[in-house]
């Protein structure tokens, strides 16, 4: 076992004994562990992430995804395949999906918009976590207004009537973030698709509009 992984497990056990384990405590521990690494090269850090993820424990996953985000300046042409494999093999909860996709994986997509073609193909996956990820992973680029070359509405179209509520909420969340930076685009989309769009997605997408606009949309 990698020394850092053993240390993480031991420290988490100490935290669990002293208090109820919360995400903030885990992130603080993750920061301490990361800065204690002598080798912060992407390959070494990813090897630690892999071992953490293999334990399939929520808290260790938080640390793994945090480590992966911390080496964002070292992302390269092989990073996508690593992250996509992690998505398919280790993401089995909405917390994992959203943490990974709104930080490390989302940052990779923001850096390399060419990967949008790959992301679009996720909408056809049999794994609903991958389908949810296809929307959520765009949020960092959208929120930073750096989504030239990315078409969020293509994702929404592909997921429009998905049969899983977490996927519907996922693309609704993406549209909500998009509504902050381009409200007219999202408003037009909601008007155009209100008859087919499930209400759970529709409500999520409406949340950030001003009250007058939101009320008028919800009456459709």
pLDDT at 21: 84
The residue range of the domain holding 11 is 1-74
Structural domain contains residue 104? no
Structural domain contains residue 2? yes
Structural domain contains residue 10? yes
Domain count, the chain: 1
Task: Give the pair of three-digit tokens for residue 11.
Answer: 């420290």
SS3 label, residue 78 = coil
Q: Note the pLDDT tens digit of each residue in 116-146.
A: 999 999 999 999 999 999 999 999 999 999 9
Residue 18 pLDDT greater than 90, yes or no:
no
d(C-alpha 147, C-alpha 151), whole Å? 8
Position 1 confidence tier, pLDDT thresholds 50, 70, 90:
low
Structural domain contains residue 43? yes
Structural domain contains residue 100? no
Structural domain contains residue 47? yes
Mean pLDDT of all residues in 9-30:
87
pLDDT at 60: 96
- How many CB atoms lie under 10 A from the CB of residue 218? 14
For the chain, what percent of residues have pLDDT higher than 70? 100
pLDDT at 139: 98
Q: Note the pLDDT tens digit of each residue in 160-186.
A: 999 999 999 999 999 999 999 999 999
Structural domain contains residue 197? no
How far from the centroid of its chain's Cα atoms is residue 77's Cα? 20
Structural domain contains residue 208? no
Q: How far apart are the first and last CA of the chain?
A: 57
Position 12 confidence tier, pLDDT thresholds 50, 70, 90:
confident
Q: Note the pLDDT tens digit of each residue in 178-210.
A: 999 999 999 999 999 999 999 999 999 999 999
Residue 55 pLDDT greater than 70, yes or no:
yes
């Amino acid at each position: 076992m990698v020394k850092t992984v053993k240390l993480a497990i031991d420290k988490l056990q100490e935290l669990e004994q002293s208090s109820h384990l919360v995400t903030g405590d885990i992130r603080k521990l993750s920061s301490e562990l990361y800065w204690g690494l002598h080798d912060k090269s992407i390959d070494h850090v990813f090897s630690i992430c892999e071992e953490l993820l293999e334990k399939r424990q929520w808290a260790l996953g938080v640390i793994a995804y945090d480590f992966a985000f911390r080496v964002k300046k070292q992302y390269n042409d092989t990073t996508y395949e690593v992250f996509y494999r992690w998505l398919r093999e280790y993401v089995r909860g909405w917390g994992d999906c959203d943490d990974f996709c709104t930080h490390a994986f989302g940052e990779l997509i923001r850096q390399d918009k060419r990967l949008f073609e790959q992301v679009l193909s996720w909408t056809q996956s049999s794994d609903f976590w991958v389908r949810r990820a296809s929307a959520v992973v765009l949020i960092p680029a959208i929120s930073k207004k750096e989504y030239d070359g990315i078409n969020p509405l293509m994702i929404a179209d592909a997921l429009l009537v998905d049969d899983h509520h977490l996927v519907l909420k996922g693309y609704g969340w993406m549209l909500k973030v998009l509504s902050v930076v381009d409200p007219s685009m999202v408003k037009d989309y909601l008007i155009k698709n209100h008859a087919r769009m499930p209400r759970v997605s529709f409500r999520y997408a409406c949340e950030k509009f001003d009250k007058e606009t939101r009320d008028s949309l919800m009456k459709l």
